[in-house]
Amino acid sequence: MAIRAQPRPRNLRWPPQDPLLLLLTVLLPLGGVVMVASARIPAVLGQGSPFDDDTFQQMLFALVGLVLAIGVSAIDYQRWERLTPLALASSWLLLIGVYFFSNAPASVAARRWFVLGDFTVQPSEFAKIALILALARLAKIAGARIQNWRVGLLAGGGLLIAVIVPVLAEPDLGTAITMTVVGLSMLFVAGARLHHIAALPIVALAAGLLSVLVHEYQRSRVLAFITRDPDVANTGYQAAQAKIAL
């Protein structure tokens, strides 16, 4: 009796096959453009155009990012997996390098950018992607063993801390918080036991409080948020701009 060969699965791509994900991919950068434009409206009133150079630059970045996202999505994710060690090592070296070799203006309190002409490169943005790839690969290799504290807590938590500590040293508290939330969420979804990873948020909170106490500008922003500081030209600037954007 002849056995019918099973049809090979089609290699589906998400732009035509997952319209919801495509819609969200478009709406997220569009929302960023709208917020930047709305926050800049007071500065461009009377100039004959509702947009200024910052808004047009944000539009360009959003368009380039969307094209890159669609292009990257067409590549088999297993190829990205093979690049994980290189991506993680490279991003970690950049995080260390920016602390010593950043050419950002001296007036900037943080050392988190490389300035390349009219553009700035922030290594922590690449570190976010490398961290996600590394945790995903760890979860794949470990499988059910991630429930063991040596894998879930030591390996997963150690990987998370190794990337976040250089980010905190820049200092970049906002990015560090984002990485912590994403990393803990991935470990939990991968199957790590809650009581194993519960210690990590405590360590992160302590590190965040230490960063706020050490860095004056972070402390000023936190206090301005809590006390609703009306000084919109100084310590209350960030909170005021967020309200304008919303």
**Local structure of 2: helix, strand or coil:** coil
DSSP secondary structure string, 173-233?
Answer: HHHHHHHHHHHHHHHHHHT--HHHHTHHHHHHHHHHHHHHHH-HHHHHHHHHHHHT---TT
**Is 160 in contact with 183 (CB distance < 8 Å)?**
yes
What was the pLDDT predicted at 99?
79
**Local structure of 21: helix, strand or coil:** helix
CA 233 to mean position of chain CA atoms? 28
Return per-residue pLDDT of the chain as tens, 246 residues. 445 544 454 455 555 567 787 788 888 888 877 777 776 665 555 555 556 677 777 788 888 888 888 888 777 778 888 889 999 999 999 888 887 776 665 555 566 777 777 777 888 888 999 999 999 999 999 988 999 988 888 898 899 989 988 888 888 888 888 999 999 999 999 998 888 888 888 888 888 888 878 877 777 777 777 776 666 666 667 667 677 666
Distance CA 18, CA 222 (A): 40
CA dihedral 48, 53, 55, 61 (to 10 degrees): 150
Distance CA 222, CA 217 (A): 9
User: Does residue 123 have a cis bond before it (omega within 30 degrees)?
Assistant: no
**Is 183 in contact with 222 (CB distance < 8 Å)?**
no
Checking phi first, is residue 45 left (phi over 0); if not, alpha (psi -120 to 50) or beta?
beta
